[in-house]
Amino acid sequence: MNNFSIPYKLAIQKKQTIVSKSLLIQMQKQSYSNENTRAFINYKNVNQVTISFYKINHNQTELFRNSFYSKDSLTDVVIKRHKAVATKNYELLNKKDYFQYTTEVVLPQLTTGNYLVYFESDSDTENKKSFAYETINITNLTVLASQKNETEIFQVLDRKTGKPIENVSIQRTNQTIQTDKNGLASYIKEKNQNYYEPILFTTDNDTLLVTKNYMPYYDEYDVKDDETNKGRVEFYLDRAIYRPGQTVYYKGIAFHKKGSTTTIVAKTSFKITVKDVNNNDFKEFEIITNEFGSFSGEFILPKTGLTGNFNIQAEEPDDYEKDAVYNKESDEHPFWDNVDFNFSQINFKVEEYKRPKFEVRFEPITKSYRINQNIHVKGIAKAFSGSNITDAKVTYTITKFTSYFRNFYNNEQKEVIVTSETKTDPSGNFVIEFHAKSVPSATKEQLPIFNYRINATVTDLNGETHSTETIVKVGYHDLILSASIPNQIETKNNNEILLSSTNLNGTFLATKGEIKIYYVRPFLDKFKARIWSKPEIESITDEEFERLFPYENNTKIIADSLIETIVFSKKVDTSTDKKLVLDFISKYKSGEYKVVFSARDAFDNNIESKSNFRLLQSNDKYDQSKLFT
């Protein structure tokens, strides 16, 4: 191949991409002192990495934060002038298949302070190392921040125990304050405050340096924030849709709200404007509220013109000085001069429409159907006056789609199987008939449900048209069970399981079956999720992980591996048993449970319903499923 050809150059680029080395390391920015920590490594074509920790002071930490373009030179100074407090080399499994892999490594324990972490590994350039660096903070301090009015409040706590820490020095740019016995300290905010201001928290043996904009704040609710006096008008109409030329009857109530107090606005004038579909003023007039703050009236819509969305708006009148409540001596109106009036309007439609004379509906589907049967679905068209809609044209479409009782995945598309028409008989009834065929890709063991959506449109002799829809469900089975229970129950409460049995179309179908309750497993004793997902290459064994990180959940529960223990069973008949009262669980231990409701249907299929729930033993001293109770 020509060494200067484009395919050759592209091939060389692709090869360089494949054989290139890459290394991405994730660490926690803050950790406890003398705590086991680990790094998550994403790598390709790399055999090893060396991680070194250099202790740095606050000034150096600030330089790393603020000197973006001189970090490399700062790093060189630190590693040349300081001795690493810990260095460890990690061998990485290189499968030499040019794929990326992930792994985890345990890091050395560190005491409180700020550290420069220096990573070094082989590079793509021969006889040259690649490197990267980051700063971390090892501290037992954490800070909560809040603000109230003009005061900013800090509370310093122990990161592990949550206990307030007294006598913590909080050093700002131009001020130093100290926490009290509750770990609290506060100061008055400046007008031009710096949101990027570094704040240093120090004790005799610990420090925490944070930038102000990274601190989570919460504001206490202040009623004064809601003390604005706001007014508005609520409109009410006699209907939502009008025909051209009809009379619109309206009513309005004016009120204003200050804080949590709402008051009506009496004997006050408002300008009312009615706008048409083009937002042009159709009518404009003034009203005066009565002693109850309400007003009402009527107006006639135009008989011609565009139809669509109209609206009624209320706003400040041109001359409110004529109101009886206006104070001439102080030249002040108690409402308009003291209230922030909100935009107030109501929308309504103006449409050319005819009142419907009849309705069409399908009769409820109460019968159970099986696949490969002929299905008859009955409908009726009935006038609102009570008369029958006879000899009306009925056009219908039947669309088939498949769902699965046992949640099997299926890509089957919806299919229109019938498009036809019929007529109503002298009683207004009509019947739609079709044959329910199976789908070759669906097997009986999957318990498929074949859904037939029927859309019917009836047109009477006057041309008036109405539509309706129903779904007929057909399958190899004819029973659906349900055992409903809350996700979590407590033994001291009155608990019950609601039982239900229906055919595929939702009609009650009595059946005899059995209900069983299983104890699945105790609550997990781990309250921390994994910091990162499990790596592809596990360099830390499960036993070592449990010893080093006892509070992290390292186990993915596989349902098939759980050994379930049956703790209760009972025969039930849904013709009489609508619920199962759980008055026998007072001694059950806390944990995860499962209820299974099973029965045989008319075609001898085994039908099951499974529900999982959590049970809390009221006699437990604490909630085993939570860290704090």
State the residue range of the domain holding 509: 480-616
Q: Are residues 27 and 121 in the same domain?
A: yes
Q: Are residues 363 and 467 in the same domain?
A: yes
Structure confidence by residue, pLDDT tens digits, 493-524? 999 999 999 999 989 999 999 999 999 988 87
Q: Is the pLDDT of residue 312 over 90?
A: yes
Which of 203-235 are b and which e, b meaning 16 or more Cβ less than 10 Å from the residue's Cβ? beebbbbbebeeeeeeeeeeeeeeeeeebbbeb
Q: Which residue has the higher pLDDT, 628 or 403?
A: 403
Characterise 372 by phi-psi region: left (phi > 0), alpha (psi -120 to 50), beta (else): left
User: 42 forms bridges with which residues in the sheet?
Assistant: 24, 102
Q: Is 625 part of any domain? A: no
Q: Are residues 146 and 248 in the same domain?
A: no
Q: Which of 320, 350, 380 is the last residue of a domain?
A: 350
Q: Which of 119, 138, 157 is the last residue of a domain?
A: 138
Surface-to-core class of residue 581, CB atoms within 10 Å of its CB (0-12 exposed, 13-18 middle, 19+ buried) = exposed
Q: Is 225 part of any domain? A: no
Q: Which of 185, 220, 255 is the last residue of a domain?
A: 220
Q: Are residues 513 and 590 in the same domain?
A: yes
Q: If we measure between CA atoms, which residue out of 613, 564, 612, 615 comes closest to residue 589? A: 615
SS3 content of the chain, % helix, strand, coil (to 5): 10, 45, 45
Structure confidence by residue, pLDDT tens digits, 78-120? 999 999 999 999 999 999 999 999 999 999 999 999 999 999 9
Structure confidence by residue, pLDDT tens digits, 151-184? 888 999 999 888 999 999 999 888 899 999 999 9
Residue 17, CB-side half-sphere exposure with 13 Å CA sphere: 6
**Which CATH number fits the domain that encloses residue 30?**
2.60.40.1930
Q: Are residues 409 and 427 in the same domain?
A: yes
Q: Is 13 part of any domain? A: no
User: 91 forms bridges with which residues in the sheet?
Assistant: 48
Q: Is the pLDDT of residue 561 over 60?
A: no
Q: Are residues 216 and 343 in the same domain?
A: no
